[in-house]
Amino acid sequence: MEVLQTHKGEVKAANKYIGKNIKIREDVKLVQGKGHYIDDLELPGTLHMAYATSTYGHARIKKIDTSKCFTIPGVLYVVTGEELKSRLSPFMEIATPPSGNLRDYPLAVDKVRYYGEPVAAIVATDPYIAEDAAELVDVEYELLPVVLDGEKSLEQDAPLVHENIGSNVVWKGVWDLGDTESAFDRADLIVEDVVRTHRYASVPLETNGMVASYDEGSNIITVHSVNQMPMFSLPLICAALGIPPSGFRMIVPPNVGGAFGGKIINYTHITLVSYLTRILKKPVKYVETRTENITFGTHNNERIYHVSLAARKDGKVLGVRMKAIDNCGAYPRYEPAGAVIWAQVVPGIYDVRDIYVEFIQVLSNKGPTGPVRGYSRVQHNFMWERMMNALAKKLNMDPTEVRFKNLIQPEKMPYVGPSNTIYDGGNYPASFKRLLDTLEYKKWRDLQAKSRPDGRLIGIGVAAVIDSGANNFSQIKIINKDFPASGNSDVGMVIVDQFGDIVARTGTTDQGQSHATTFSQIVAEVFDTDPEEIKFQEGFDSISNIWAAHSGAYASRSAVIAGTALYYAARNLKQKVLKIAQSIMDEPISDLDIKNKEVFSKVSGKKIPLAKVASVAWSDVGLLPDGIDPGLMSYAIYKPDFKFNMPDERNRINNTLTYSYSIHATVVEVDPETFQIKILKHVVISDPGTIINPLVVEGQEMGATLHGISAALSENLVYDDDGILLSSNFWDYNVIGAKQMPDLELLQDVTRSTSSVLGVRGIGEGGGGPIGSIINAVEDAVTPLNIKLISSNISSYDLFSLNRKNEVI
């Protein structure tokens, strides 16, 4: 049984509701179609917007003729970048100049920089008219050479994506941690390798969408949108529109159909519909098509690592040096945040302290990147797991043996890493052993050896990820010391209303994570009341609901930060309830407690309903004791202490509050003729910290695992040499479905987080684990064919081609 322990060290009695498999209240509503999503919103008189998009990867816009659009009845307005350039400010950039001078608008200005970039927006009375009209936009282009590869982008004569910044470099920095020179001097061997991660996407079930309306009377623009980081987006939008935040109301509907990071950089569309509603004085709606979502929604950063790893001959890693080149596409919209976010997991799960990283982020003529589940850390974790395998191969050791040599030991927890990240507990070696036992590692190795002479290609791979959760925004100051955000915060509000009902709110948005269920369990624990009795009011509203400047749902933070704020708010409100009850019941407060919406005396047994206390608090206020304000409403804002709160001169900082690990083990079989890859077994072990609802945690972990499997074996955003995206729809961009998914075995070794108040860890993002374990397993399987893998994505076609190149057969 988990124990709910406060940050002050006081220990409550064993939990009654936290940790219980309480039915997920959202599920029934959602499967019955009773959710409220953005496309369900149809304000009276709504107009619809569609984009005309670039047919080229890089081209100068010589002329745009929109006249033909108006030949279709119902078309009301067409806007191009030329108009926006004079009416909006370019979006604020995180980076400092020169790349901070990059000019980004909702529509292409002067030239298009990636295939599918919006060049014009058409507003019409219905969405189909708008789409038809979009096809009549006539753009005259002058083709420009494209640059698609990160390394080529750095070459002297590379085409410039944004000429005014003078190069394609967005940001570069160095992490010089420990003493790599000494580590390399002491090493028995050096392993050098290249590791590449591929481009894939978030692909939520619901695409991006927004509806903007303008009230002339109040001069307020109201936007309903699926944005998952509204308080990050709001200042960007307001600055672009030239209006104060008080003139802009941001609402996120109660239900958002998945996000996985892909609903942060949609502020470009929000700005555009806001601009249009102010002109047209009618609501304007835009919902992405699937092709648009895949083309310009959010792509994951491609990264190339050139790594040198110094080790002893017993497999102990002494140090590592690397150069990482990160390709962020045509516009760094949330970037270059990813250029520092990887540093949340500098050593992976390994006790390596001498690390040197040169990190460069560059532009290219590909779609914009942004957070995708496991943002920026997936790549770094993958690099570690590939290098561990490379070292094992060089030493002719079993890959698991090399890992055991290097895992952070439990007695070192909490582990202060070389960049001052504080890993908050967990027993990595014990979990790894349990994982291998459950997989039946030895049995598979034996079968592999026995079946290879028969031509069977069986492979086993392991890999780990750290899901660092509840981010510390101060890390962005490594990029820009004047960036106006640091730390993290969120709010919780608990109300006992006039009828005695307990109502909770937070500043988070829900994209399917079951916040209502989870947060209700926290409040239920404090009030010792059935969670079903807790009303959770979902939906973000910047004017009428509570929020903090970091509110939203991203970076595995909701349970850790908003959950704590809610816990404090509930605890404070409980004290107020007891104070009022004390005067009503004439009992000492120390004798009173709450259970099932009743206040009772632990001594006399006397009890009154919560509704009675509420009645006095809200309306019968003449009966309130002296010094107690009317109402039963408690608001708490929680700002965690990260210990190393700000970056030092060596870029060291505790980048997040919690560090949940998951380790994956995969057995695959590759068909020697068709090269099809089949997963025979996949086991995951993780430590999510104190579990609030096991069903919710299992769902998150399962989703993250499936996302990773799909990324490794299927999802791939492929561009041709001219910069045309070839996988822009579900025909070519295959998200693996339930039928292709293997059975998963999910294990947990639970330890409390030593950093978070509730002991919980963020667990929403562990998407990268299967990528490493699958690539390692596939490479292991094809060992007899002498095929080396470099990328984080592999298909049967790739294997076939690699095999032909090797001319083994």
Partner 1 sequence: MNFEGSKEVKSGVDKVWKFMTAPENMVQCMPDVQSYNIVDSKTVQAKLKVGIGFIKEIFDSEITFAEIEAGKKLLITVNSKAKANSATIKIEVSVDGDDTKSTLKWNVDAIMAGRLASIGQRYIQKVSDKIVEQSFVCMTQKLLA
**Interface residues with partner 1 (CB under 8 A)?**
52-53, 55-56, 115, 134-136, 138, 141, 143, 720, 722, 724-726, 728-729, 731-732
- Cβ proximity to partner 1: between 291 and 514 the closer is 291
Smallest distance, partner 1 to C-beta of residue 68, A: 10
Smallest distance, partner 1 to C-beta of residue 82, A: 20
| Amino acid making up residue 519 | F
- Cβ proximity to partner 1: between 40 and 135 the closer is 135
Give the C-alpha separation, 790 to 799, whole Å. 12
Smallest distance, partner 1 to C-beta of residue 56, A: 5
Smallest distance, partner 1 to C-beta of residue 725, A: 6
Give the C-alpha separation, 269 to 105, whole Å. 10
- Cβ proximity to partner 1: between 160 and 724 the closer is 724
| Amino acid making up residue 183 | A
Angle CA 204–120–131, to nearest 5 = 60
- Cβ proximity to partner 1: between 105 and 141 the closer is 141
What does the DSSP assignment read for 279-302? Answer: HHSS-EEEE--HHHHHHHT-BPPE
- Cβ proximity to partner 1: between 389 and 728 the closer is 728
Are residues 591 and 601 in contact, defined by beta-carbon separation less than 8 angstroms?
yes
Are residues 494 and 534 in contact, defined by beta-carbon separation less than 8 angstroms?
no
Smallest distance, partner 1 to C-beta of residue 22, A: 46
Smallest distance, partner 1 to C-beta of residue 200, A: 17
Smallest distance, partner 1 to C-beta of residue 362, A: 24
Which helix (H) or strand (E) covers residue 494, if one does? Answer: strand 490-496
Nearest partner of 223 among 244, 204, 246, 248, judged by Cα: 248
How buried is 798 (Cβ within 10 angstroms: 0-12 exposed, 13-18 middle, 19+ buried)?
middle
Alpha helical stretches, state H, 61-125: 81-87
In 312-353, where do the E strands start and end? 317-327
Smallest distance, partner 1 to C-beta of residue 724, A: 5
Smallest distance, partner 1 to C-beta of residue 699, A: 34
Smallest distance, partner 1 to C-beta of residue 55, A: 3
- Helices 377-395, 769-781: axis angle to 10 degrees equals 30
Give the C-alpha separation, 542 to 133, whole Å. 34
- Cβ proximity to partner 1: between 115 and 232 the closer is 115
Give the C-alpha separation, 501 to 506, whole Å. 17
Give the C-alpha separation, 691 to 18, whole Å. 7
Smallest distance, partner 1 to C-beta of residue 201, A: 15
For 763, the 3-state DSSP assignment is coil
Side-chain half-sphere exposure of 439, counting CA atoms within 13 A: 30
Smallest distance, partner 1 to C-beta of residue 728, A: 5
- Cβ proximity to partner 1: between 54 and 509 the closer is 54
- Cβ proximity to partner 1: between 82 and 138 the closer is 138
- Cβ proximity to partner 1: between 135 and 437 the closer is 135
| Amino acid making up residue 288 | E
- Cβ proximity to partner 1: between 179 and 722 the closer is 722
Smallest distance, partner 1 to C-beta of residue 141, A: 8
- Helices 610-618, 563-585: axis angle to 10 degrees equals 90
Smallest distance, partner 1 to C-beta of residue 717, A: 11
* Tokens (6 digits) for 610: 């919560």
- Cβ proximity to partner 1: between 52 and 712 the closer is 52
For 318, the 3-state DSSP assignment is strand
- Cβ proximity to partner 1: between 466 and 717 the closer is 717
Q: How many other CB atoms sit within 10 Å of the CB of residue 626?
A: 5
Nearest partner of 709 among 689, 732, 683, judged by Cα: 683
- Cβ proximity to partner 1: between 728 and 748 the closer is 728
Q: Please state the length of the chain.
A: 809
- Cβ proximity to partner 1: between 441 and 733 the closer is 733
Smallest distance, partner 1 to C-beta of residue 796, A: 16
**Cα separations (Å) of 364 from 167, 302, 499, 517, 791?**
11, 11, 59, 43, 19
Are residues 655 and 468 in contact, defined by beta-carbon separation less than 8 angstroms?
yes
- Cβ proximity to partner 1: between 188 and 720 the closer is 720
Smallest distance, partner 1 to C-beta of residue 729, A: 7
Give the C-alpha separation, 65 to 133, whole Å. 12
Q: How many other CB atoms sit within 10 Å of the CB of residue 252?
A: 29
Cis peptide before 106 (omega within 30 of 0): no
- Helices 428-439, 441-451: axis angle to 10 degrees equals 50
- Cβ proximity to partner 1: between 141 and 638 the closer is 141
Give the C-alpha separation, 167 to 160, whole Å. 6
**Cα separations (Å) of 182 from 191, 310, 317, 354, 667?**
16, 10, 13, 9, 38
Smallest distance, partner 1 to C-beta of residue 190, A: 42
- Cβ proximity to partner 1: between 447 and 718 the closer is 718
**Cα separations (Å) of 60 from 54, 140, 142, 200, 787?**
11, 8, 5, 27, 42
- Cβ proximity to partner 1: between 141 and 415 the closer is 141
Residues with Cβ < 8 Å from 571, sequence gap 6 or more?
A: 526
Q: How many other CB atoms sit within 10 Å of the CB of residue 619?
A: 12
Smallest distance, partner 1 to C-beta of residue 726, A: 5
